[in-house]
């Protein structure tokens, strides 16, 4: 159960995503997960063993490290990537539920004997359009993604007072005697990778916002197109009704004129 297995799970969901969603998944796995596994983990590998304090007091280093690094960057990023990937599984569950319902209704209407397995396979393999309840599920999943991305980025900023790693921190936790200088291992490299991961996270957020706007625009145009059709149909009916009334008026006038003519004829004779 590692990143490869998670990618396999999400790859299946990707079939029902928009193009922006597919780009998002690639950015997530190439620029964030791969960089985390291949590069960042070795930068932070010696974070505690090479955290050095200017004291021989036993326990002071442990306590100061714990005070300045309550949760390591690597763990925060791992949790962020897991949480950000998970909303896509909401969409997968919805799709699976819909397909099962469709399969059941097809079997019920045609009968299990008369349904060829090829048709069931095409039903299983088809790509559902993002409309109706699936639109809402997809939009919810995008909201959750944005929430988790923003939340974890804020947590990182808050816990570490910014995205820069200092070279020196001053510690006066017990059992350190007085104030003690502690030196962080590889601070510049850690700053570089932190900024890189934050930038990738921001790019993913921009992609999610763009995808959300695209979905909303698509839904609005669909609504407008539907209401536009309706209005045209209503206008045509109005015209037809007006024509009918006009025709009836003419008929009435003709009848009236014919009756007065006959009466006038009678009087003349």
| Residue ranges binding another protein (CB under 8 A) | 1-3, 5-6, 9, 41, 48-49, 57-59, 61-63, 65-66, 69-72, 74-75, 78-79, 82, 86, 89, 93, 97, 175
Spatial CB neighbours of 157, under 8 Å, sequence gap ≥ 6: 163
Rg, C-alpha atoms of the chain: 35
Nearest approach, Cβ of 173 to another protein (angstroms)?
Answer: 8
Nearest approach, Cβ of 224 to another protein (angstroms)?
Answer: 36
With vertex at residue 244, the alpha carbon angle to CA 242 and CA 246, rounded to the nearest 5 degrees, is 70
CB of 132 closer than 8 Å to CB of 226: no
- Give 155 or 203: the residue with its C-beta nearer to another protein: 155
How far, in Å, are 43, 178, 249, 253, 267 from residue 263 at the CA level?
A: 112, 126, 21, 15, 6
What does the alpha-carbon distance between residue 159 and residue 7 come to, in Å, rounded to a whole number? 29
SS3 for 228-241 is HHHHHHHHHHHHHH
Residues counted in the chain: 269
Nearest approach, Cβ of 201 to another protein (angstroms)?
Answer: 17
Nearest approach, Cβ of 130 to another protein (angstroms)?
Answer: 22
Q: How far is CA 140 from the centre of its chain?
A: 7
- Give 107 or 212: the residue with its C-beta nearer to another protein: 107
Nearest approach, Cβ of 82 to another protein (angstroms)?
Answer: 6
- Give 69 or 138: the residue with its C-beta nearer to another protein: 69
- Give 27 or 89: the residue with its C-beta nearer to another protein: 89
- Give 133 or 175: the residue with its C-beta nearer to another protein: 175
């Amino acid at each position: 159960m590692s990143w490869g297995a998670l990618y396999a799970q999400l790859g299946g969901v990707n079939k029902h995503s928009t193009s922006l969603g597919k780009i998002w998944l690639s950015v997530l796995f190439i620029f964030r997960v791969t960089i985390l596994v291949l590069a960042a983990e070795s930068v932070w590998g010696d974070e505690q063993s090479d955290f050095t304090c200017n004291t021989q007091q036993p326990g002071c280093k442990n306590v100061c490290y714990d005070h300045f690094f309550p949760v390591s960057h690597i763990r925060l990023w791992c949790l962020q990537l897991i949480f950000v990937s998970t909303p896509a599984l909401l969409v997968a569950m919805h799709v699976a539920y819909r397909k099962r319902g469709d399969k059941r209704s097809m079997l019920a209407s045609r009968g299990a004997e008369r349904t060829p397995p090829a048709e069931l396979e095409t039903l299983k393999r088809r790509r559902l359009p993002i409309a109706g309840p699936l639109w809402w599920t997809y939009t919810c999943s995008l909201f959750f993604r944005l929430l988790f991305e923003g939340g974890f980025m804020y947590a990182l900023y808050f816990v570490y007072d910014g995205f820069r790693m200092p070279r020196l921190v001053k510690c006066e936790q017990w059992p350190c005697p007085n104030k003690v200088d502690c030196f962080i291992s590889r601070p510049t490299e850690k700053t570089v990778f932190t900024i890189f991961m934050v930038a990738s996270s921001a790019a993913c957020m921009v992609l999610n916002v763009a995808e959300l706007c695209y979905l909303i625009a698509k839904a609005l145009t669909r609504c407008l197109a539907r209401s536009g059709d309706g209005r045209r149909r209503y206008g045509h009916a109005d015209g037809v009704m007006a024509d009918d009334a006009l025709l009836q008026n003419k008929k009435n006038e003709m009848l009236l004129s014919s009756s007065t003519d006959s009466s006038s004829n009678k009087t003349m004779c």
